[in-house]
Amino acid sequence: MSGLEMAAAGFAAMLVMIAVRIPIAAAMAITGFVGVWILRGTSAPMLGMLKSVTWDAFASYSLSIVPLFLLMGQFASKSGMSERLFRAAADWLGHRRGGIAIAAVGACAGFGAVSGSSLATASTMGQVALPQMKRYGYSDALATGVLAAGGTLGILIPPSIILVIYAILTEQNIEKMFAAAILPGLLAAAGYVIVVLLYVTLKPGSAQRMPRKPWAQRMGSLLQVWPVVMIFALVIGGIAADWDWGKTGRQALFTPIEGAAVGAVLTGLYGLLSGGLNRRSFTDCVLQTAQATAMIYFILFGAQLFNTFLAFTQTPQALAEWVVASRFSPMAVLLLMLLTYLIFGCVMDSLSMILLTIPIFFPIIQGLEFGMTPDETAIWFGILVLIVVEVGLITPPVGMNLFIINDIAKGVPMGRTYAGVMPFVASDLIRVAILVSTPWLSLALVRAM
């Protein structure tokens, strides 16, 4: 059996384990361990490597950004930021046709800017916005569809845990990855707003309007969300902006890890001062952060073992050489990879997809010519991967955001949620096409840095 055949067999075995509900981290770890055992005829090489593999997976200083951003998101969820964001957006837009749904998209974007998590954004905003949509006669399909799609902004608007993991895996600059995601994130929000407007125009009975709020109430609700804007501006601006410090030269105000720590502290202080955080909720935030961090680290560990197996088979190098020798156009190879992500998104979560595929796909992409520097190609590819992974969160039948929103929307058949989200999936696919054809949209802010 050749190395490539062994890798294919191992990949198939891992998918079977996932299908029978073995946790994906365990499936990757088992496949990697058994694969190396078969290749070497003994478990000694893998047992000897477990120490170094574990160290490589967990001891990276850059990974300390993950629990900090997770804690920041937990504080944001418990501090009432989501309610204030949605209330402000609804006060300004609710009197327009589809205004509450548009307000939900805006609030999801704002909350995603301080949570960094799609699932947290979908869950939190679903609990806040869904009752208001039901109150004003929004159809089940539109209400659940827009909230499931809006939740995906949590991993696209910086800071994003998925972007951090991608940057670490590919040894890219986290600040540049965050900067590259800003314009595509705004484009995503704009696309969802357009979908809502088209939906309520074609189906006028799918949404009612809120009464117009007085200007005093609008301004008051707007003032309540300034902490969110300030925290986002300070964290992302401090990480990505190039500040002139005189004698010490130009550099960022924070490293990404320092920015994550500052964001977590400021969000926690806001929660304490606003009354949203107390001793019990603070403890819950810490425990949930620890649980989420442990889950991510376990998946990272499994991915390290699986990637060690792939390295023994020399599959990434063989595939890269085969693609170059086959003379496929770079764009055809890229589109095939993006299609693979869309298919995987129907059955896998976003982090697992990234960890499973990047070690194979990234060397291939780096060997192709797209008219950019290698670093720019890596950043552009990362944004494209982030977007198609995001689409997987709302793609039937196993989109995680769909299940979260449907669980909150008691009594709404899953079929209606599927129907409601499909126009937003179409918007995402159009956005992918735009970003594939115009790489400068992802690279404009990076080049400005």
The 3-state DSSP class for residue 156 equals helix
Question: For the chain, what are the domain ranges?
Answer: 3-448
Asked if pLDDT for residue 116 goes beyond 80, the answer is no
pLDDT single digits (tens) 119-148: 778 888 888 888 888 888 888 888 889 988
Kindly report the pTM of this predicted structure. Answer: 0.84
Minimal CA–CA distance to 370: which of 316, 319, 320, 332?
332
DSSP conformation letters of 257-322: HHHHHHHHHHHHHHHHHHT---HHHHHHHHHHHHHHHHHHHHHHHHHHHHHHHHHHHTHHHHHHHH
**Rounded percentage of the chain residues whose pLDDT exceeds 90:** 9
Asked if pLDDT for residue 297 goes beyond 70, the answer is yes
Mean predicted confidence (pLDDT) in 273-299 = 86
In this predicted structure, what is the pLDDT of residue 317? 72
Mean predicted confidence (pLDDT) in 207-223 = 82
Other beta carbons within 10 angstroms of residue 223's beta carbon come to 11
In this predicted structure, what is the pLDDT of residue 408? 84
In this predicted structure, what is the pLDDT of residue 110? 84
CA dist 222 → 89, 187, 193, 216, 270 (Å)? 8, 23, 20, 10, 16
Could you say which DSSP state residue 247 is in?
G
Structural tokens at position 256: 């990404």
